[in-house]
Amino acid sequence: MSRIADFVCDLVFPNRCPFCDRFIPWNFLCCPECREKLETADFCPTCGMAACVCGTAEFSYDSCAVARPYTGLVREGILRLKYNRGFNAAKLICTELSEKLKSLDIPNSADLITAVPMTKSRRRSTGYNQAEYIAKLLSKSLGLPLDFKLIGKNKTASAQHKLSAEERREAAKSAYFAPKSHADISGKTVILCDDIITTGSTLSECAAVLKAEGASRVCCAVLSGTLLSPDKNIKE
């Protein structure tokens, strides 16, 4: 685009850095200074944990790509996505997540994308599901279809962050179910999206539902992972 058009876009659509609130060009997702400051960490591409638990724990998913640690600026950006509807930070991390999935060669063999569901009442109060928002961005960048009718969530499930690791596993088991009429996903590879991975129990139970529906592989795609030991609660 020409420089004049860029200038007009900046005037008409003033854009701000999601982390420091400075004005940024319309086609930027954050300012270069904050981008430099974004925290990084290595996560196991199989279990999705910073401290790999593949030797001791079993998950129903086959792989888990995590873009960034849930700390500092990334954590702020994800909280914005959850509560304030600021989307720039999530868009930026989603671009990285998409690259990560490509580097793990997942999109080539994947058939569709879905997301960890919310209860209907939670969705009504927040207006949208942040996991579905992530799935929509990935669907666009990877060119894969979406299906949000593969996993249902019971409304009795309690808020995950108040529970211990053991309680989370138990709660997750009864929280998710296969809706009566869902698409046939026999033999398909499904990308399952969420905003945060802590113990992996939510993603694992959702993956179990997809496997029960016939999915042959479930690859998780998550914006951020906690660096706390899985037995500690995150309080948000």
Binding site for Zn ion (CB under 5 A): 17, 19-20, 31, 34, 44, 46-47, 52, 54
Residue type, 115: A
Q: How far is the CB of 45 from Zn ion (least distance, A)?
A: 8
Q: How far is the CB of 20 from Zn ion (least distance, A)?
A: 3
162-177-91 Cα angle (round to 5): 65
Residues 6+ apart with CB under 8 A from 17: 23, 24, 28, 30, 31, 34, 88
Q: Which is nearer to Zn ion, 8 or 20 (CB)?
A: 20
Q: Which is nearer to Zn ion, 61 or 70 (CB)?
A: 61
Q: How far is CA 5 from the centre of its chain?
A: 34
Q: How far is the CB of 229 from Zn ion (least distance, A)?
A: 15
Q: How far is the CB of 85 from Zn ion (least distance, A)?
A: 18
Q: Which is nearer to Zn ion, 47 or 218 (CB)?
A: 47
Q: How far is the CB of 117 from Zn ion (least distance, A)?
A: 25
Q: How far apart are CA 2 and CA 165, in angstroms?
A: 53
Q: How far apart are CA 143 and CA 71, in angstroms?
A: 30
How far lies 123's CA from each of 107, 128, 227, in Å? 28, 6, 27
Q: Which is nearer to Zn ion, 52 or 178 (CB)?
A: 52
Q: Which is nearer to Zn ion, 44 or 142 (CB)?
A: 44
What is residue 109's DSSP assignment? G
